[in-house]
Chains A and B, each alone.
Chain A
Amino acid sequence: MGDHSHDSPTGSDVVAAAGQSETERFQDPGIPPHRPRLADTDPRAAKRAERQVAILFAVSVIGTLLFFVGYFAFDPNASIGTLRLQNLFLGLGTAFAMLGIGVGIVHWAKTLMPDHEVSEERHAIRTEDDRVAAEKIVEDILEETGIKRRPLIRNTIIGALALAPLPAIVMFRDLDNSSLSVDRLRHTMWKEGVRLTRDPSGTPIKASDVTIGSAFHVIPEGLNESPNKLEEKAKAVVLLMRLDPAALHPSPGREDWGYNGIVAYSKICTHVGCPVALYEQQTHHLLCPCHQSTFDLTQECKVIFGPANRPLPQLPIKVDSEGYLVAQSDFHEPVGPSYWERG
Chain B
Amino acid sequence: MSASTASTNYTPKTKVGRITNFVDERVGGSGILREFGRKVFPDHWSFMFGEVALYSFVILLLSGTFLTFFFDPSMTETVYKGSFVPLKGVEMSAAYNSSLNISFDIRGGLFMRQVHHWAALLFVASIAVHMLRVFFTGAFRKPREMNWVVGGFLLILAMAEGFTGYSLPDDLLSGNGLRIIDGVIKSIPIVGTYISFFLFGGEFPGTHIISRLYTLHILLIPAIILLMIAVHLFMVVVHKHTQYPGPGRNDHNVVGYPLGPVYAAKAGGFFFIVFGVVALMAAAFTINPIWNYGPYDPSPVSAGTQPDWYIGFVDGALRLMPGWLFGIPMEWHVPLPWGTNTLTLNVLLPALVPAGIIFAVLFTYPWIERWITKDNREHHVLDRPRNAPTRTAIGVAGFILYCVMWAAASSDLIATHFHVSLNDVTYWLRALFFIGPIIGFIVSKRISLALQRKDREIALHGRETGRIVRLPHGEFIEVHAPVDEYKRYKLVGFESPLPLPATPNAQGVVDRREKRRAKLSRWFFEDRVAPVTPRELEAAHGHGHHEEIAAEEDKKAVIR
Interface residues of A (CB under 8 A from B): 1, 8-10, 12-20, 24-26, 28-32, 71, 74, 76-77, 83, 86-88, 90-92, 94-106, 108-110, 113-115, 117-122, 125, 172, 175-178, 180, 182, 184-185, 199-200, 217, 219, 228, 230-231, 233-235, 237, 267-269, 271-275, 277-278, 289-293, 303, 305-310, 336-343
Q: Which residues of B contact A291 (CB under 8 A)?
A: 315, 318-319
B236 within 8 A of A: no
Of A26, A115, A289, which contacts B489 at CB under 8 A?
Answer: A26
In the bound complex, CA of A34 to CA of B266 (Å): 20
User: Given that A106-B273, A337-B187 are known contacts, is A1 also in contact with B453, CB under 8 Å in the complex?
Assistant: no
In the bound complex, CA of A71 to CA of B250 (Å): 54
In the bound complex, CA of A329 to CA of B115 (Å): 51
In the bound complex, CA of A321 to CA of B52 (Å): 69
B271 within 8 A of A: yes
B508 within 8 A of A: no
Q: Let me know if A120 and B341 touch, CB within 8 A.
A: no
Q: Let me know if B498 and A19 touch, CB within 8 A.
A: yes
Q: B478-521 CB contact bits vs A (8 Å, 1 = yes)?
A: 00000001101100110010100000000000000000000000
Q: Let me know if B283 and A88 touch, CB within 8 A.
A: yes
Output the nearest chain B residue to A229 by Cβ-Cβ distance. Answer: B77
Q: Which residues of A contact B284 (CB under 8 A)?
A: 88, 91-92
Q: Let me know if B269 and A103 touch, CB within 8 A.
A: yes
Q: Which residues of A contact B270 (CB under 8 A)?
A: 102, 106
Q: Let me know if B268 and A105 touch, CB within 8 A.
A: yes
Q: Which residues of B contact A230 (CB under 8 A)?
A: 205-206, 296-298
Q: B256-286 CB contact bits vs A (8 Å, 1 = yes)?
A: 1110011001101111111111011011100
In the bound complex, CA of A17 to CA of B184 (Å): 51
Output the nearest chain A residue to B335 by Cβ-Cβ distance. Answer: A343
User: Given that A122-B253, A343-B341 are known contacts, is A292 also in contact with B203, CB under 8 Å in the complex?
Assistant: no
In the bound complex, CA of A17 to CA of B533 (Å): 15
Of B182, B255, B297, B378, which contacts A118 at CB under 8 A?
Answer: B255
8 A-B pairs with CB atoms under 8 Å apart are A31-B248, A74-B107, A122-B251, A122-B253, A230-B206, A272-B182, A337-B182, A339-B192
Selecting from B7-15, B194-202, B468-476, the interface stretch reads: B194-202
Q: Which residues of A contact B110 (CB under 8 A)?
A: 83, 87
Q: Let me know if B534 and A306 touch, CB within 8 A.
A: no
Q: Let me know if B304 and A307 touch, CB within 8 A.
A: no
Q: Let me know if B412 and A289 touch, CB within 8 A.
A: yes
Nearest Cβ on chain A to B261's Cβ, whole angstroms: 5
Nearest Cβ on chain A to B39's Cβ, whole angstroms: 7
B108 within 8 A of A: yes
User: Given that A121-B252, A176-B198, A230-B205 are known contacts, is A13 also in contact with B460, CB under 8 Å in the complex?
Assistant: no
A-B contact count (CB 8 A): 378
Q: Let me know if A273 and B179 touch, CB within 8 A.
A: yes
Output the nearest chain A residue to B240 by Cβ-Cβ distance. Answer: A122
Q: B308-347 CB contact bits vs A (8 Å, 1 = yes)?
A: 0000000100111111100001110100000111111011
In the bound complex, CA of A175 to CA of B201 (Å): 5
In the bound complex, CA of A13 to CA of B460 (Å): 11
Selecting from B65-73, B125-133, B355-363, B523-531, the interface stretch reads: B523-531
Q: Which residues of B contact A267 (CB under 8 A)?
A: 299
Q: Let me know if B239 and A25 touch, CB within 8 A.
A: no
Interface residues of B (CB under 8 A from A): 39-40, 83, 104-108, 110-111, 114-115, 143, 176, 179-180, 182-184, 186-194, 196-206, 208, 238-240, 247-248, 250-258, 261-262, 265-266, 268-277, 279-280, 282-284, 296-305, 315, 318-324, 329-331, 333, 339-344, 346-347, 350, 378, 380, 411-412, 422-423, 426, 453, 456-457, 460-461, 485-486, 488-489, 492-493, 496, 498, 526-536, 539-540, 543-544
User: Given that A77-B83, A120-B40 are known contacts, is A104 also in contact with B426, CB under 8 Å in the complex?
Assistant: no
Output the nearest chain A residue to B461 by Cβ-Cβ distance. Answer: A10
User: Given that A91-B283, A95-B276 are known contacts, is A342 also in contact with B342, CB under 8 Å in the complex?
Assistant: yes
Of B262, B298, B319, B460, which contacts A234 at CB under 8 A?
Answer: B298
Nearest Cβ on chain B to A74's Cβ, whole angstroms: 8
Q: Let me know if A338 and B187 touch, CB within 8 A.
A: yes
Q: Let me know if B143 and A125 touch, CB within 8 A.
A: yes
In the bound complex, CA of A148 to CA of B549 (Å): 81
Q: Let me know if A272 and B180 touch, CB within 8 A.
A: yes
Of A17, A83, A231, which contacts B206 at CB under 8 A?
Answer: A231
Q: Let me know if A15 and B202 touch, CB within 8 A.
A: no
Q: Let me know if A274 and B305 touch, CB within 8 A.
A: yes
In the bound complex, CA of A338 to CA of B193 (Å): 10
Output the nearest chain A residue to B487 by Cβ-Cβ distance. Answer: A32
Q: Let me know if A340 and B341 touch, CB within 8 A.
A: yes
Q: Let me know if A105 and B269 touch, CB within 8 A.
A: yes
Q: Let me know if A289 and B302 touch, CB within 8 A.
A: yes
Q: Which 4 A-B pairs have the closest CB atoms?
A: A91-B283, A272-B183, A102-B272, A105-B269
In the bound complex, CA of A50 to CA of B240 (Å): 32
